[in-house]
Structure 1
Amino acid sequence: HSDLIRSAAQKLGIPIKEYELDAQFRAGGSDEYISWVDNTIAIRRTEHVIWDPAETFDVDVVDSPEELRALIQHKASEGHTARLVAGFCWPWSDPLPDGTLVDDVRIGSFAMPWNAKHDRRTAHGIPKADLWATDPDGIHQIGCVYTAQGFEFDYVGVIFGRDLVYRFGEGWVGDPSRSHDTVVKRAAKQGIHEFTRLVKQTYRVLMTRGLKGAYFYFEDDQTRDFIMSRIEKGSIEEVGSALR
């Protein structure tokens, strides 16, 4: 692509300037947060082991998916862009005959649909897949990694399923039986380590969609405890008071 741009500019006599970008702009430019994510889910070792809530980027763990949804909706009501996303741990159904979506993502009494599939007819008020990130009604669906990647929001709420859990003494462990991602599950044929590596990359994408903050709900208690051990006590009480 760079060669095509240079060639076209040369033909038109337009001078160009080239710059090298070290990384994409993620998490509001918070290198510390991205470094913390990478270290926490064992993508790479970094110096950011414990998240400091004094940072301008907001990070918190909530106790239920209902609380996560309420928090994201609260941020949206304040005029921010905000979306829920989740690991691919639930089936992704086609729309019903009337174009409404199936509440595939179920955790106890919590139930929400994924975003619409590509090239599927949807009912009025349900954005098509390529508009989920920008249409205000997208807040009523949960984005999967294939829809969320490439987009950023002011705030993101991430539901961690059981396809990737943390076990003290073992580290991060992937579980293909909990995954509904056929692309990633095929990698499990190469061994559990390859599956785990790909699922960690999936959650890295989801965790880094926020520009101002990221909030997490964990289905697995041990995983939640581990993440909590990597966050200094800070703004969780403030989040709770904001929702009251």
Structure 2
Amino acid sequence: MTTSKPATSLPLADVPPTSPSRPALTKAQQALVDHIVDFARTHHAASPAALVIEGDAGTGKSVVVNAAFERIQQLARDRQGHDPLAGSRNLMLVNHPEMIKFYKRVAGTLPAVRKGDYQRPTSFVNQCHKSGTTADVVFVDEAHLLLSRSDRYNHFEQDNHLQEILALAKVVVLVFDPHQVLKFKSYWNRQRLQDLLHGHVVKHVQLTEQFRMHAEADVSQWIHGFRAGRLLPLPAEQSFDFRIFDDAQSMYEAICAHDRTAGMSRMLATYDYPYTLDGKDHFITEGRFHLRWDRSLPQEPLAWAERPDTIEEVGSVYTVQGFDLNYAGVILGPSVGWDEASQRIRIDTGRYEDRAAFAGQQGLDDPEEIRQAIMLNAINVLMTRPTRGLYLYASDPALRRQLGRLRDQGAA
């Protein structure tokens, strides 16, 4: 068991650094915040420019951009100031409904930031086109969720979110992680990003230090191996609680116990179980385990990860992406198996229930390879949510046996 303090009711990965719930920035993070502000000062009146911040989940990308955004808004709204950014129009965009809820709520506690400073990308693009306005500095958190094709059902008529944003802003600051791409219609890789940024002044920053998972490096290495289709020996025993379960109900009971003592502990699952937005409850059943999927509550002001009642639900990648948990119990559903012959993870795209993730494959080379990458990315997102402990259960018998072997070898 770790001796670190329990998480607050806020998802710490996204709490602005000025919040009482957020530890002070490290010297390196503060230096990056200063660099972002200077980059905006230098380029907002000179030429189109983009600053791309990359890094794995938990490397503090959102923390840094929130601190930089708040600083820039302080400068922009200082009526007596003479800073080049004084009077500038700046926005934070995020294509994630749960994170928008959180950002707008936290904005009310920060003197320089307003709720209207946070928008969905489609709203920003459509409003700018309708009013003929532009922005000075636009931050895009979780830029890997931007649409890379039109989505008329959701009122985006243009070809590409980022292409539109680059045309409507003088400076764009992007948080980008290609290992968190989850859909064909928002399919990104580094080459696609580079092609769109051609013609702009571009600066890249790579973050590597892990802030979320209070774990030794072998935990991140194990997760990286899994998303590459390999099973490495289990991490060594340490304060971060990494466990393999043979029974999903037992895992749930352990998660409930942690939620009672530490808070912010939840069950999560791959999108391998039927779920329909029809107002009804839909359930995940694995042996003795039987629990409903997360309910869609768009009018609920709290994000799913923040609500205490969601200990009675199973979260999906769409409700937890971008948020921290203390402990996560992850169910690897039937689409995630083990191939004894190749000694590799086997991904069965035909058993993935998130069919919307695979809509819009036109123009993509090797869509089957991308399907598998999307599913492994989703697993990566689920596994990288917890700060203090990760528990795994595999539905597929072969994978469950192999994980059990690794557990037993580590205990020998």
Cα displacement (A) at 1:230 = 3.8
Distance in 2 between residues matched to 1:85 and 1:12, nearest whole Å = 49
Structure 1 residues 220-235: aligned runs within 5 Å: 220-231=396-407, 232-234=409-411
CA distance change for structure 1 residues 184 and 168 in 2, over 3 Å: closer, same or farther? farther
Counterpart in 1 of 2:244? 61
Distance (whole Å) between structure 1 residues aligned to residue 82 and residue 328 of structure 2: 43
> How many corresponding residue pairs?
217
1:211 aligns with 2:397: no
Report the Cα offset of residue 208 of structure 1: 1.2
Q: Shift of residue 224 of structure 1?
A: 1.6
Distance 1:54 1:109 in 2: 28
Moved over 6 A (4+): none
Q: How does 1:1-244 map to 2 (within 5 A)?
A: 2=36, 6-7=40-41, 8=72, 9=75, 12-13=82-83, 21-22=207-208, 25-28=211-214, 30-42=216-228, 49-94=232-277, 96=279, 102-119=281-298, 128=300, 131-170=303-342, 171-186=344-359, 190-231=366-407, 232-234=409-411
CA contact (8 A) 1:166 1:173 kept: yes
Structure 1 gaps, min length 5: 122-127, 235-244
How far did residue 21 of structure 1 move?
3.3
Q: Distance in 2 between matches of 1:174 and 1:129?
A: 36
Q: TM-score, normalised by structure 1?
A: 0.75
Q: Could you tell me whether the CA contact under 8 Å between 2:326 and 2:389 is conserved in 1?
A: yes
Letter in 1 for 2:266: R
Larger radius of gyration: 2
**Relative to structure 1, is the Cα distance of residues 116 and 129 closer, same or farther in structure 2, using a 3 angstrom cutoff?**
farther
Q: Distance in 2 between matches of 1:60 and 1:204?
A: 16
- Structure 2 residue identity aligned to 1:111: H
SS at match of 1:116: coil
Q: Secondary structure at the match of 2:214?
A: helix
Change (3 A) 1:4 1:106: farther
Q: Is the Cα contact below 8 Å between 2:234 and 2:410 reproduced in 1?
A: no
Contact 1:164 1:196 in 2 (8 A): no
Residue type of the partner of 1:58? D
CA RMSD of aligned residues (A): 3.3
Partners in 2 of 1:215 and 1:91 — Cα distance? 23
User: Residue by residue, what CA displacement relative to the aligned partner does 1:25-69 show, whole Å, maximum 9, x if unpaired?
Assistant: 3322543211111113426x8xx9322442221111112221111
TM-superposed deviation, 1:191: 4.2
The range that moved more, 169-178 or 138-147, is 169-178
Q: Could you report, residue by residue, the CA deviation over 1:204-236 in whole angstroms, capped at 9, with x for unpaired residues?
A: 1111111111001111121122233444534xx
CA contact under 8 A between 2:334 and 2:351: conserved in structure 1? yes
Q: CA deviation at 1:70?
A: 0.4
